[in-house]
Amino acid sequence: DQQVKQNSPSLSVQEGRISILNCDYTNSMFDYFLWYKKYPAEGPTFLISISSIKDKNEDGRFTVFLNKSAKHLSLHIVPSQPGDSAVYFCAASGGADYKLSFGAGTTVTVRA
């Protein structure tokens, strides 16, 4: 049973525009949320995280928004660049074992 869901398998955006990736979760015990970026033939790399006590976290071009009541988070990339073309995974954690539950990923393609 998937507790973290990314319902959009792919997203195409023009260079310079905003990319918005969405993620929903079902487990109310989750209190930390992370986004990972993955290039082909490489492992996922950590991008940005947010604690459930916040509703926004920003790091350069990347901003993550959290709506706890809706059990929804989103990742905004502004402006999108060709190097942002990758698969983005949403992940969540809520236990003392620090286990991360991942979504299925969204493939972002930035068009020149």
- Residues at the contact surface with another protein, assessed by CB under 8 A: 2, 32, 34, 36, 41-46, 49, 51, 87, 89, 91, 93, 97-105
Minimum distance of another protein from residue 44's CB (angstroms):
5
Closest alpha carbon to 19 in 100, 67, 86:
86
41 by Cβ neighbours in 10 Å (0-12 / 13-18 / 19+) ranks as: exposed
Minimum distance of another protein from residue 47's CB (angstroms):
8
Q: Which is nearer to another protein, 23 or 87 (CB)?
A: 87
Minimum distance of another protein from residue 49's CB (angstroms):
6
Q: Is 104 left (phi over 0), alpha (psi -120 to 50) or beta?
A: alpha
Q: Which is nearer to another protein, 50 or 77 (CB)?
A: 50
Question: How far is residue 28's CA from residue 95's CA, in Å, rounded to a whole number?
Answer: 11
